[in-house]
């Protein structure tokens, strides 16, 4: 082969290499925009209050949850939150990464389908009722009673009523002017770009007042609820074939109704083991750590097993703070996807799941993104059975994400645990390390990036 031929060969190989690199980068960028599959979600978060607070959306974006269930917020017309830019929030969240550092987060809208709420866009009636019949004269007849759990401003409805279905689904005779551009609850969710809906108060079908109202009209409340959900799927799927529908609570709805499994993508059960009082503030001690009766736990699990057997993922929201570790352990044992938090759901939890990486960014104290790498001493130290390791990643001028590895080694230098191995944005991270089956002794943990490496020592005492 002559010199000219070799030159063209090298030029061709260089072109192929460059094209391959460009294709690889393009594929990586494309992959980063793909949503996390529901079946692959490891960590999920749930917040339906305080989303309009300063820094709340930034915290959601910085989080590493694979799926976030959030209040749409702008449908609350009781205050200036009606001007909240929900669409912008959803767009920013869908541009942020899930826990694997590759896929984007799933963003799901919390909606109440079994109760009318007096702060919503559709409520144009009076608001004063002492819950003693009859209803105020200007209220629609499909409102049945006051919320049995004490949530103020919530009223169970006859969800089979065509007018209520029009508010939730069809929007043929509804108007959200002057503050909205939507004609139904689901229409608003789709317009704002949510990946799906998270249905609260499916349990209306087993509420005593609702059951009585259904009986008076010759209705089967379970059949009507399933039909209601199926209508939601029909409407939403016509606009987004990948639209998700997640049922919250009411696990017994599947009893003698296997058709339910085809109408939903997942179920989320609240308070299987630990509960708290409704309608309380974030710091109120009544909002978490109430241990449920074993018979109630058994009742929930018996029905949730049917969902798992049908291939329907089960998400679990436990209202536990001091019992958070126990809640996670019990949930994982049943192969649920758990989240332990406080009943107010006013912030992301302070007790995330094992293995979850907590990210702290700019907050009210004025602390911002760190200006350098850092690996701090674990705490507590010595520890048993778990400890927290904190480290900092600064802004990277050349790229948004930094490849980070955090590993634990034994005294002989053998790797015993990979805590982090992914791309991360700038921030202050906290990782929980559980000793599991390790023996007492000295261990080392090392933080490594392309331009930084640091090792520290810790002591496990059992």
Digit-coded pLDDT (tens) for 202-218:
999 999 999 999 999 99
Reference 65, options 44, 34, 92; nearest CA is: 44
Residues 236-265: what's their mean pLDDT?
97
411, two tokens: 């005294």
How far is the C-alpha of 437 from the C-alpha of 38, rounded, in Å? 31
Task: Tell me the per-residue pLDDT of 137-161, one tens digit each, with 9 for 90 and over.
Answer: 999 999 999 999 878 899 999 999 9
- Are the CB atoms for 319 and 350 separated by under 8 Å? no
**Structure confidence at residue 362 (pLDDT):** 42
- Are the CB atoms for 49 and 90 separated by under 8 Å? no
Reference 111, options 138, 147, 151, 71; nearest CA is: 71
Topology of the domain comprising 37-354: TIM Barrel (3.20.20)
How far is the C-alpha of 208 from the C-alpha of 262, rounded, in Å? 27
How far is the C-alpha of 74 from the C-alpha of 83, rounded, in Å? 6
Which segment of 59-73, 111-125, 351-365 scores lowest on mean pLDDT? Answer: 351-365
Q: DSSP state, 166? A: I
Residues 241-264: what's their mean pLDDT?
98
Phi-psi region of 112 (alpha: psi -120 to 50; beta: other; left: phi over 0): beta
**Structure confidence at residue 400 (pLDDT):** 62
Provide the strand spans (E) within 230-327. 244-248, 266-270, 274-275, 290-291, 314-319
Whether residue 365 is predicted with pLDDT greater than 60 in this model: the reply is: no
Helix (H) or strand (E) holding 460: strand 453-460
**Structure confidence at residue 26 (pLDDT):** 38
How far is the C-alpha of 272 from the C-alpha of 323, rounded, in Å? 13
Listed ranges 46-55, 75-84, 225-234; the one with the highest mean pLDDT: 225-234
Mean pLDDT of the chain: 89
C-alpha triplet 22, 26, 31: angle, nearest 5°? 150
Strand 453-460 and strand 441-448: pairing?
antiparallel
Strand 357-360 and strand 427-434: pairing?
antiparallel
How far is the C-alpha of 269 from the C-alpha of 137, rounded, in Å? 36
Whether residue 181 is predicted with pLDDT greater than 50 in this model: the reply is: yes
Reference 93, options 45, 165, 132, 139; nearest CA is: 45
**Structure confidence at residue 368 (pLDDT):** 58
Burial of 352 (0-12, 13-18, 19+ CB in 10 A): buried
**Structure confidence at residue 14 (pLDDT):** 42
User: What's the pTM?
Assistant: 0.78
- Are the CB atoms for 119 and 49 separated by under 8 Å? no
Task: Tell me the per-residue pLDDT of 279-314, one tens digit each, with 9 for 90 and over.
Answer: 889 999 999 999 999 999 999 999 999 999 999 999
**Residue tagged 């799926």 (tokens):** 67
**Across the strands, what pairs with 405?**
421, 448
Reference 301, options 352, 335, 266; nearest CA is: 335
Helix (H) or strand (E) holding 302: helix 294-309
**Structure confidence at residue 424 (pLDDT):** 79
Topology of the domain comprising 360-460: Immunoglobulin-like (2.60.40)
Query: Given 3-state DSSP classes, what are the helix, strand and coil percentages for the chain, each rounded to the nearest 5?
Result: 30, 25, 45
How far is the C-alpha of 7 from the C-alpha of 9, rounded, in Å? 5
């Amino acid at each position: 082969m002559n010199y000219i031929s070799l030159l063209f060969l090298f030029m061709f190989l260089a072109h192929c290499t460059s094209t391959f690199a460009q294709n690889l980068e393009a594929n990586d960028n494309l992959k980063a925009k793909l949503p996390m599959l529901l079946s692959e979600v490891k960590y999920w978060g749930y917040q339906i209050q305080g989303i309009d607070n300063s820094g709340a959306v930034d915290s959601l974006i910085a989080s590493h949850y694979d799926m976030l269930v959030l209040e749409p917020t702008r449908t609350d017309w009781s205050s200036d939150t009606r001007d909240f830019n929900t669409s912008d929030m959803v767009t920013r969240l869908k541009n942020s990464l899930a826990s694997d550092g590759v896929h984007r987060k799933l963003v799901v809208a919390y909606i109440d389908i079994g109760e009318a709420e007096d702060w919503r866009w559709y409520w144009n009636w009076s608001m004063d009722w002492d819950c003693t019949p009859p209803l105020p004269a200007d209220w629609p007849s499909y409102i049945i009673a006051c919320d049995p759990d004490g949530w103020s401003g919530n009223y169970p409805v006859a969800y089979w009523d065509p007018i209520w279905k029009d508010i939730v689904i069809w929007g043929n005779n509804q108007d959200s002017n002057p503050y909205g551009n939507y004609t139904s609850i689901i229409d608003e969710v789709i317009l704002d770009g949510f990946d799906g809906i998270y249905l609260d108060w499916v349990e209306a079908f087993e509420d005593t007042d609702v059951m009585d109202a259904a009986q008076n009209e010759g209705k089967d409340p379970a059949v009507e609820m399933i039909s209601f959900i199926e209508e939601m799927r029909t409407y939403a799927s016509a606009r987004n074939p990948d639209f998700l529908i997640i049922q919250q609570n009411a696990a017994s709805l599947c009893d003698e109704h296997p058709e339910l499994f085809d109408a939903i993508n997942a179920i989320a059960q609240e308070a299987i083991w630990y509960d708290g009082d409704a309608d309380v503030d974030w710091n109120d001690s009544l909002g978490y750590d109430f241990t449920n009766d074993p018979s109630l736990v058994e009742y929930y699990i018996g029905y949730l097993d049917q969902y798992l057997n049908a291939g329907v993922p089960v998400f679990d929201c436990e209202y536990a703070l001091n019992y958070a570790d126990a809640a996670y352990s019990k949930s994982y044992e049943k192969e649920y996807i758990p989240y332990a938090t406080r009943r107010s759901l006013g912030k992301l939890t302070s007790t995330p799941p094992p293995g979850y990486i907590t990210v702290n960014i700019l907050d009210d104290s004025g602390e911002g993104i760190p200006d350098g790498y850092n690996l701090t001493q674990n705490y507590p130290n010595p520890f048993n059975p778990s400890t927290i390791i904190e480290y900092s990643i600064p802004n990277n001028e050349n790229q948004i994400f930094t490849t980070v590895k955090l590993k634990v080694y034994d005294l002989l230098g053998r790797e015993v645990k990979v805590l982090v191995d992914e791309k991360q944005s700038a921030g202050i991270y906290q990782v929980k390390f559980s000793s599991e089956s390790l023996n007492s002794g000295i261990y080392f943990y090392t933080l490594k990036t392309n331009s930084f490496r640091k090792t520290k020592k810790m002591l496990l005492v059992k």
